[in-house]
Amino acid sequence: MISISETASGKAGAPIYQLKVVLLRSAPSIWRRLHVPADAKLDWLHAALQVAMGWTNSHLHQFKVGEASYSDTRHHSAEFEDDQEILEERTVTLRQIAPREQDVFCYEYDFGDSWEHEITVEKILPNTAAASSARCLEGASACPPEDCGGTSGYDDLLKILKNRKHPEHQRMKEWLGRPLDPAAFDVEKTNLWLRKLKWPRVTEAQLRKVIMARLTVQD
């Protein structure tokens, strides 16, 4: 289990982490490059990842750091006595789990579809402006629809939508309920929603409000 040292949360001038977030097994690659305050708690980082990637916070999640797992233990905890302990994400900061450049950890969302994101600390930068929000620098490709069956299910969905003669084409269009451009990504709109996340704590209700506002605009 990773050793956690004490750091001051909310300290002015805390470093900025440049993170590369890649959805594993996506082709073409679905990724985002973010700037995030080093002293962001993992629950806040979860909220930023949901918004930046385009998810809807409809499922459980966890961070995997070596052999350790961090999550919201109000909703996700070890089911059986012999299961690995789930550590509380609300008490741990980004720089505690990844103190060095090139550190890598995993963020998994939806244990059914198992959307696994590899997160790499590309740079640790000075912060003279005391930033209190995440910022997306760039990225590529749209977020897959929720509950489509993971990356393999998403690949199948795209093939079906491209083929109007496929027997499942109409049903999948109706299930999706909206147009889907798999190449679409707008960094300015992403930052618009990231700026709405409250710092240093974002509640589930506030995250839901931001996501619902984003979905309303998309529709």
**What's the pLDDT band for 156 if we cut at 50, 70, 90?**
very high
**Cis omega (within 30 of 0) for bond into 200:** yes
CB 195 within 8 A of CB 210: no
Q: What percent of the chain has pLDDT over 90?
A: 84
Alpha helices, DSSP H, located in 60-145: 94-97
Instruction: Give the tens place of pLDDT for each residue, 41-58.
Output: 999 999 999 999 999 999
What is the predicted pLDDT for the residue at 8? Answer: 38
Instruction: Look over the chain and give the mean of its residue pLDDT values, rounded to a whole number.
Output: 92
Note the pLDDT tens digit of each residue in 182-209. Answer: 999 999 999 999 999 999 999 999 999 9
Q: What is the C-alpha to C-alpha distance for residues 33 and 21, in angstroms, rounded to an integer?
A: 6
Closest C-alpha among 97, 70, 71 to residue 4: 97
Residue 70 near residue 89, CB atoms below 8 Å? yes
Distance, CA of 74 to CA of 156 (rounded, Å)? 35
Indicate if the pLDDT at residue 136 is higher than 60: yes
Between 128 and 168, where is the model more confident?
168
Overall CATH class of domain 16-141+185-207: alpha beta
Domain edges within the chain: 16-141+185-207, 143-183
- How many whole angstroms separate alpha carbon 171 and alpha carbon 153? 15
Residue 30 has what pLDDT?
98
Position 7 scores a pLDDT of 38
Secondary structure letter of residue 41 according to DSSP: B
